[in-house]
Amino acid sequence: MSSNAAVPKLTRKDFVTNQDVRWCPGCGDYSILAQVQKLLPELGVPRERIVFISGIGCSSRFPYYMNTYGIHSIHGRAPAVATGVALARPDLDVWVITGDGDGLSIGGNHLIHALRRNVNLTILLFNNQIYGLTKGQYSPTSEVGKVTKSSPFGSLDQPFNPISVAIGAEATFVARTHDMDRKHMQQVFRRAHEHRGAAFVEIYQNCNVFNDGAFEHITSRDKRAEMLVDLRHGEPLRFGADQELGVRLNPYGEAEVVRVDEVGEDALFVHDETRHDPTVAFALSRLAETPTSPTPVGVFRAVERPTYEAEVQSQLGHAQATRGPGDLRALIESGSVWDVA
């Protein structure tokens, strides 16, 4: 289809399939699915140019419920499969759906390399701090001391902070949202889609069967004002019911919560998501050690860098222009070769 062809007017119904949605009643995945289906018609991208790629886990059923192209791949390998799709077809919109277990355990290696390469992918990581599909084992984001079927005396593992991992891997777009705020999810998903390069979004998602209420300390309506720090580009970081709280950087470069009436607004940190150096974004990601203390949500980092597939295409174009068509047989038989009797 020509990129200049008019895109038919689409609605959410155009992105809904005839598959029965097989998540537990009350699962936060329903909310995420609904917001993606509502957002896609507004993006003006034809369905035949959209691909959803997942690994293994509850979240990885997602491609079945999207009336687009989709690949339900293998455990942890969704970023690797998606990289291949993006390289072969840079004209496509490629989304990766993964979870805290799928993306940060067996798939951790694939995730960080897709991020550092800056492959043009929109990666949504559902974080419920538990293995839901396999019935409640602790995951790479479960808190220390988590009692589960696989850690009956409490988990001993230090959990990953997904935002810190993404920033450390040099992702050019990093954000966090949660399944209890539909408007915020749509805003973050839209920003991630608009970004050229590797866009990583962590979504706090409730597993009401195996880890119910994991994020209620910050996402419940009566807690949000005091516990969610909304990251607004170019503005001082203030929060609280009366904006009485703020965030500043201490002399060690660490982000800390303060009372505005004690330090003054001039002492607060002014958020700049476009800072190329990731140091401050990383400091913000460490503000909340666990989701029981004030937690930043929104866009941590949004910087520009050449995409991996664009650089690959540039290399191929240069080689074609300067060296002519390649000879695969000559390449294979060049250099050190052996004849095996």
Question: What CATH code is carried by the domain that includes residue 130?
Answer: 3.40.50.970
For residues 178 and 68, what is the distance between their CA atoms, to the nearest angstrom? Answer: 24
- Alpha helix locations (H) across the chain? 29-43, 78-88, 100-101, 108-117, 162-168, 182-194, 216-219, 224-227, 260-263, 279-285, 308-323, 328-332
CA 215/CA 220 separation, integer angstroms: 8
Amino acid (1-letter code) at residue 44: G
- Is 270 inside a domain boundary? no
What pLDDT is stored for residue 338 in this prediction? 73
In a domain, 243, yes or no: no
Res 326: pLDDT: 79
C-alpha angle 82/51/63, rounded to 5°? 100
In a domain, 18, yes or no: yes
> Is there a domain that residue 332 lies in?
no
CA distance linking residue 193 with residue 21, whole number of Å: 24
Instruction: Find tokens 């990953």 and name the residue.
Output: 160
Whole-number pLDDT of residue 6: 67
- Count of the separate structural domains present in the chain: 1
* Half-sphere CA count of 99, side-chain side, radius 13 A: 28
Give residue 177's domain range.
12-214+306-314
Residue 256 dihedral angles phi and psi, to the nearest 5°:
-145, 150
Q: What is the reported pLDDT for 171?
A: 98
Q: DSSP letter at 163?
A: H
**Contact of 27 with 62, CB cutoff 8 Å:** no
pLDDT at 333: 81
> Is residue 319 one of the residues assigned to a domain?
no
Residue-level pLDDT at 1:
44
Q: Flag residues of the chain having pLDDT under 50.
A: 1-2
- d(C-alpha 293, C-alpha 303), whole Å: 28
Residue recorded with tokens 């140091």: 279
Q: What are phi and psi of 48, to 5 degrees?
A: -75, -5
Distances (CA, A) of 137 to 155, 160, 162: 10, 16, 18
Domain assignment of residue 265, yes or no: no
257 within domain boundaries: no
In a domain, 271, yes or no: no
Residue 216's alpha-carbon distances to 42, 129, 241, in angstroms, are 31, 13, 17
Cβ 163 vs Cβ 202: under 8 Å: yes
